[in-house]
Amino acid sequence: MSHAEDRRPHVPDETLRDPPLLAAVGELAAAGGASSMLTPFLPAALPAWALVRQRIDPAEIADVRRAVRAALEPVLTDVRPGARVCLAVGSRGIDRIDQVVAATVERLREAGADVFIVPAMGSHGGATAEGQLEVLASYGITPEAVGCEIRSDMATVELGEVRPGVPVFLDRHAHDGADLIVPINRVKPHTDFTGEIESGLSKMIAIGLGKQRGADTFHRQGFATFHELIPAVAAFTLARAPIPFGLALVENGHARLVRVEAVPAARILSRERELLVLAREAMARLPLAAIDVLVLDFIGKDISGLGMDSNVVGRYYTGPTGVPPAIQRIVVRDLTAETEGNAVGIGMADVVLRQAVDRMDARKTYVNCITAKTPEGARVALTVDTDREALAVALACCLRVAPPDATIVRVRDTKHLELLYVTEPALPEVLAAGCELLEPPHPIRFDATGMFADGGL
């Protein structure tokens, strides 16, 4: 919930800070379904937490259709009447991507083009044609909604080798059935590697359009090569495929579109470097240097390619990335509905709720992790039934902190960081960082089943 009036009524401050009430959190443990095995780890007291709002620049594109049409105008000379134009679409979680695609189809058809779409998402959707159609439909991209045909097939054409042993693949429909191929993608920091070019048009050209076969071949080289291999494969493909331009999208810290730009093929590599800088600067981050326990209500492929964004949590499968905050333990409560069971990235959590594990689709998760050569992404951590147990176990696994003094932060996910629950010991730091107090500190509330009684974020 995003409005204070939707939340439980406030209790006077002096009552909220009453030590006996904090101690009662521990005394209620037995009523919440905690297993006897975990009882020794249930803390006698927890810190109070408060709801705060992080100030993030709200500027965004209001009229997506108008922005797309304006962006396309300078490049429409590349689209001759009767041209068969293939739009490559596929990355998850892009703000209003259905509107972007529909507006692009509309304007290209006005220019006389015959437009169709191919899913450009590597191995996503369980690496099946049907699964990739389902992924697009989950974005609101269907033939009826966007006004053109969607051709989904896992077949590819090999364009050659960018270097010995590294073949480059292109979607068969894009290769055989199009005069022009136009990738549409968001430019943003990647979760698995760092470079001048990360996620964006180049990655979609190099990996997304290669389908499962191309993605698998690419990932066999290892993420350590991606910073130079993605630009190399993109340049190789651009020299051999009819890609006149790409439509680059950038989001603000609220995960809302702030820029739509058509980038000519000759400038894709150079312009993407510049757009990545803008995207990185616009990212929302957690307003703390260190966190003992981070609670994520959701992870999912619509949130991040890694389920949770490593740029936000400062953690990867191999350990800390060196990017703040330093987080001791991460709790994952659930999967988003939009991820459709793909739980890739759950392996970065230390404690997970059983409801998240029960939602996992093994095929989708495994195919994604195997293709990415990161089987650790599907590993399931300590699994418990309730929020109370999850918090207790996470705190018990922390070093050098007593539960009443712990810095605990709860957010919806790593993509939506405007609203946070933050425990009292960390409040001075977040308020000094410009956050606004929405609710005063109060005990961490659990219902009769041991789940958080405080509303969702």
Q: Are residues 10 and 93 in the same domain?
A: no
44 and 84 inside one domain? no
| Lookup: tokens for 181 | 């191929």
Distance, in Å, from the CA atom of 88 to the CA atom of 23, rounded to the nearest integer, reads 56
Q: Is residue 456 part of a domain?
A: no
- Mark whether 232 and 321 lie in a shared domain: no
DSSP assigned state of 126: G
Whether residue 247 sits in one domain with residue 128: yes
Per-residue pLDDT for the chain (457 aa), expressed as one digit of tens each? 333 333 333 333 333 334 433 333 344 333 444 455 777 888 889 999 999 999 999 999 999 999 999 999 999 999 999 999 999 998 888 999 999 999 999 999 999 999 999 999 988 888 899 999 999 999 999 999 999 999 999 999 999 999 998 999 999 999 999 999 999 999 998 878 888 998 999 999 999 999 989 888 888 888 889 999 999 999 999 999 999 999 999 999 999 999 999 999 999 999 999 999 999 999 999 999 999 999 999 999 989 889 999 999 999 988 898 889 999 999 999 999 999 999 999 999 999 999 999 999 999 999 889 988 999 999 999 999 999 999 999 999 999 999 999 999 999 999 999 999 999 999 999 999 999 999 999 999 999 999 999 878 8
Assigned domain for 174 exists: yes
Confirm if 73 and 108 have CB atoms less than 8 A apart: no
What pTM value is reported for the model? 0.79
Q: Are residues 107 and 163 in the same domain?
A: yes
- Core vs surface per residue 87-105: b (16+ CB within 10 A) or e: bbbbbbbbbbbbbbbbbbb
CATH of the domain at 203: 3.40.50.11440
- In whole angstroms, what is the distance from residue 67 CA to residue 65 CA? 5
Whether the link from the prior residue into 231 is cis, omega within 30° of 0, is no
Separation in Å, CA 255 to CA 88, 282, 347: 21, 9, 24
Alpha carbons within 13 angstroms on the beta-carbon side of residue 355 total 15
Last residue of some domain: 282, 303, 325?
282
End of a domain among 250, 282, 314? 282
Q: Is residue 357 part of a domain?
A: yes
238 lies in which domain range? 64-282
| Cα 399 to Cα 299: distance, rounded to the nearest angstrom | 25
Structural domains in the chain (count): 2
Give first-to-last CA distance, the chain, whole Å.
5
